[in-house]
Chain A
Amino acid sequence: MLELLVSEGRLYGLELVSASRGALKRGTVYVTLGRMEEKGYIKSRQEGVPATGGLPRRVYEPTTLGRRVCDAWGLLRQRLAPRFAR
């Protein structure tokens, strides 16, 4: 999820679900996003009320800490992958 946000920059919850190609479900994505926000990996803001009416949407983007965690995780995976492959 963090990788998707880092690569895309800014996404809605529903866009994350479709970008994950089935890896994320709509029932779990917002709970996970909420936990990540509590940990400071991502931040969110509510957009204005749409012109067609209805509820405003919430857009998510990674924080600097989130980007660093994602980089560190990528590096760790890169280093560990050959060891596990052996």
Chain B
Amino acid sequence: MNPLSRSIRALAARLCCGRTLERLIDPILADIELEFRQHVQAGRVWRARLVVVGGYGGLIQAVALHALRVCGWALAFDEPARRTGWFSLGAFVVLTIALTLPPALGRHVDGVLALYLVPQAIPLSIPLALSIGIGYGWSQGTTGRDMLRRVAMLGIAGALVAAATMEWLMPAANQAFRATVIRRSAESGRETTITMRGGIHERSLSELAARIRQTAQTGPFVASEYERLVTDLREINAAMPRGRHLTANYLNLVFHQRVALCFAAAALGLLAVTTATAIRSRNLARTVFVGFAGLYVFAWFGGDPIVAATRPAISAWTPNAGAAAISIILLGVASHRRTLTLFRHD
């Protein structure tokens, strides 16, 4: 077995049940090995390498399908998982509405424009809703390994939805919002020229990365470059004050914050589970988790501006890293108290 297959199998042996290992992981890894050997013996070295890449792609697909199936089964038959699912869904709806309402109550915003604001709230409400759902919905009777596996799956699902929203839905919705506002403004006679250039919040992650490379070469550009045509709507565009210089570092910060936000669901979910497991009293565990979650939110919005300006990646990833560090400490406490047994072999 090659080193990568050996590592994958060792990881799967720790995380998956014996049946999944025997029926899903082992046969796929055995196929990859066999095909690779057959092609190498026939002298088709490059073909053998391609087969290995395709084989690992197939393995990822198979594991993703299996995870979806297990999640579906868990939501249908597993009481703690079902409770967590319903709590998370309820919290997601409430939080999305709560985060959309303040800007939606603005003077110029009607029903259609409010709908365009919803995608902005989704990446924030997913991690918060999942952590609330996990914290309040999970019973303490479930074993630690099962909890962590399910939280990991929920975290991955949340990260995928948040990433898809930020890559496609949010830039398009922001652009549509601004286009509608400017069109209405022009129709009412306040604006005569309509020339639209996408702002940073109307760019997908890939477009933002391209802008960072361009800005690093050409130097900072002025925010008003694309804002000068919407001066009448300053209250809507207040997030980016007129004349502010957008440096490559600032764009880098926005980029890393968006990617880090995708993983916020996993970080907060892990924090919720470890807090619930390490602290025996449920009410105390909830209070402590709310405190940690508050610190997490503070780290997002109240980070050091100097670090943010000079080391954007560090600044953006600090909340997730902090949550992971606290989770590891709590895991240690839970293991010490024997309330959590990780990596049980069945």
Query: Interface size on B (CB < 8 Å)?
Result: 27
Partner of A30, one of B1, B5, B23, B60: B23
Contact A31 B62 (CB under 8 A): yes
The answer to whether A34 has its CB under 8 Å from any CB of chain B is yes
Near A by CB (< 8 A), chain B positions 57-76 give 57-62, 65-66, 69
Partner of B22, one of A13, A33, A46: A46
CA distance A68 to B9 in the complex (A): 36
Contact A55 B54 (CB under 8 A): no
Known: A26-B58, A28-B61, A28-B65. A54 touches B23 (CB 8 A): no
Partner of B57, one of A27, A28, A52, A53: A27
Q: Measured between C-beta atoms, what is the minimum distance from B159 to chain A in Å?
A: 20
- Residue of B27, B30, B57 with highest tally of chain A CB at under 10 A: B27
Q: Which residues of A contact B34 (CB under 8 A)?
A: 14, 54, 57
Partner of B62, one of A27, A35, A44, A53: A27
Known: A25-B61, A27-B58, A28-B61. A34 touches B31 (CB 8 A): no
Q: Which residues of B contact A13 (CB under 8 A)?
A: 27-28, 31
Partner of B54, one of A26, A30, A54, A57: A26
Main secondary structure of the interface of B (DSSP, over half): helix
Q: Looking across the interface, which residue of chain B has its beta carbon closest to that of A26?
A: B58
Known: A26-B55, A31-B24, A37-B23. A54 touches B61 (CB 8 A): no
Near B by CB (< 8 A), chain A positions 18-69 give 25-28, 30-31, 33-35, 37, 44, 46, 52-58
Can you identify 17 A-B contacts, CB atoms within 8 angstroms? A13-B27, A26-B58, A26-B62, A27-B62, A30-B23, A30-B24, A31-B62, A31-B65, A31-B69, A44-B23, A46-B26, A54-B1, A54-B33, A55-B5, A55-B30, A56-B30, A58-B30
B interface, CB within 8 angstroms of A = 1, 5, 9, 22-24, 26-31, 33-35, 37, 54-55, 57-62, 65-66, 69
A sample of 13 more A-B contacts (CB under 8 A), given A31-B62, A44-B23, is: A12-B31, A26-B55, A26-B58, A26-B62, A30-B28, A33-B23, A35-B69, A46-B22, A46-B26, A54-B34, A55-B5, A55-B33, A57-B30
